[in-house]
Amino acid sequence: MENIKFENNTDSGNSNILAIEDSNEVGRIEYQLTTTEMVVEHTEVHPDKRGTDLAKTLVVKALDFSKEKNLKIKSTCPYAKKVLNEIK
């Protein structure tokens, strides 16, 4: 995953963190922000990247962002909820 860059986009109604490799999106985590919390709604990785911990890395990036912004983190995404319960 050393060639993958992460871009956090908070300027739209659907905020996300994208995983970019060689100018191609290979994964994403989508979330909504309120003044007090971040709600993770969806996590997705390209089929070629499944099993590489990319999805988990995206959840960790979201958690780091929520901590940086002093926001409580919740998830409606089953995968992200599972990972957050493991690492929180």
Residue 11: its pLDDT value, please?
76
pLDDT tens digit sequence for 22-58:
999 999 999 999 999 999 999 999 999 999 999 999 9
Residue 12: its pLDDT value, please?
64
Residue 67: its pLDDT value, please?
97
Average pLDDT over residues 74-87: 96
Number of domains in the chain: 1
Cβ pair 40, 79 in contact under 8 A: no
Q: How far apart are CA 88 and CA 43, in angstroms?
A: 18
CATH, residue 62: 3.40.630.30
pLDDT tens digit sequence for 4-16:
999 999 976 779 9
